[in-house]
Amino acid sequence: MLILFKKEVSSFLNSLIGYIVITVFLLVNGLFLWVFPLDSNILNFGHANIDGLFTIAPFVFLFLIPAITMRMFAEEKKSGTIEQLLTQPLTDLQIIMAKYFGGLILVVFSLLPTLIYFFSVYQLGLPPGNIDQGGLWGSYIGLLFLGASFVAIGLFASSVTDNQIISFIIAVVLCGFAYLGFEFIWSLDLFGKYDLFIKSLGISAHYASMSRGVIDTRDVIYFLSVIVLFIMLAKISLASRKW
C-alpha cells in the first residue's frame, strides 16, 4: 500500500498536474484576496483577517479536486492497467486508500503556501498580530476536512467510469450538491421543523461551524462519515467487477 501511495504522489509531482493544481489554487485565491476590488479584498476591507480565503477556496476546490481525482481509476480502466493493479497482493480497500491519501496530500500541499497570506495579514495588523487566530485555525481545519471529503467523492466518481471527463462532471455535481444543495433545499422552507436537519446534512453548515473556531465533535464525525461513505461506495464500485 505504501508503494502505491508513493507512486500516486510521485505521479502528481512528476507531472504538470500537481503543480498546475497548486498554482491555480494560489493564483485564484490570491487575485480575490489582494487584487480584485471585492469584499474579499484584504486591503480594501480594512480588517486583519483572511476570511475571503475560506469563502473562495471551497469553490476553487469544487473544480480542482475533481480534476485531481478524475484520473485515479478512470485512467486505469481505460488503459487496461486496472486488472494488473487489482491482481496485486493488496485488497480493494488498500488500493482505494493509497489513492485517496495520494489525492489528500496534494490538497495539503496546495493549502500550505496560503500560510503566506496569514503571515502577511499578521504583519499588516495594527498592532502586528491583531488577528483572530482561533477562527483562522478552525477555518483551516474545516477547509482540510472539506477537501478530504471532496477527494473521497471524486475518488468514487472516478471508480464508476472509464472516462475522465465523465468522472470530472460526476464529481463536480456531487461535490456541488454536498456543499450547496442542502443549503438550497433548506432555503426553500419546505420541511417545516425538519429544515434545520436538512441543512445539517450539507457540508457547508459544518464547514461554517468549524470556521468559527470551535471544533465540535459533531462536525468532525460528520466529515469522517462523508469520507467513509464515499470510500465504501468506491469499494463497492470496484467489487462490482466480480458480479
What does the H/E/C string look like for 118-172? HHHHHHHCCCCCCCCHHHHHHHHHHHHHHHHHHHHHHHHHHHCCCCHHHHHHHHH
- Between CA 11 and CA 150, with CA 90 as vertex, the angle to 5 degrees is 50
Domain housing 138: 2-242
Lowest mean pLDDT among 28-32, 151-155, 232-236: 28-32
What does the pLDDT look like over 184-213, one tens digit per residue? 888 887 777 788 888 889 999 999 888 877
- pLDDT value at residue 219: 92
Region 91-100: mean pLDDT is: 88
Question: Cβ(145)–Cβ(207) under 8 Å?
Answer: yes
pTM assigned to the model: 0.90
Domain total in the chain: 1
Helices 133-159 and 164-176, axial angle in degrees (round to 10)? 140
Please name the amino acid found at residue 11.
S
Mean pLDDT across the chain:
84
- pLDDT value at residue 152: 96
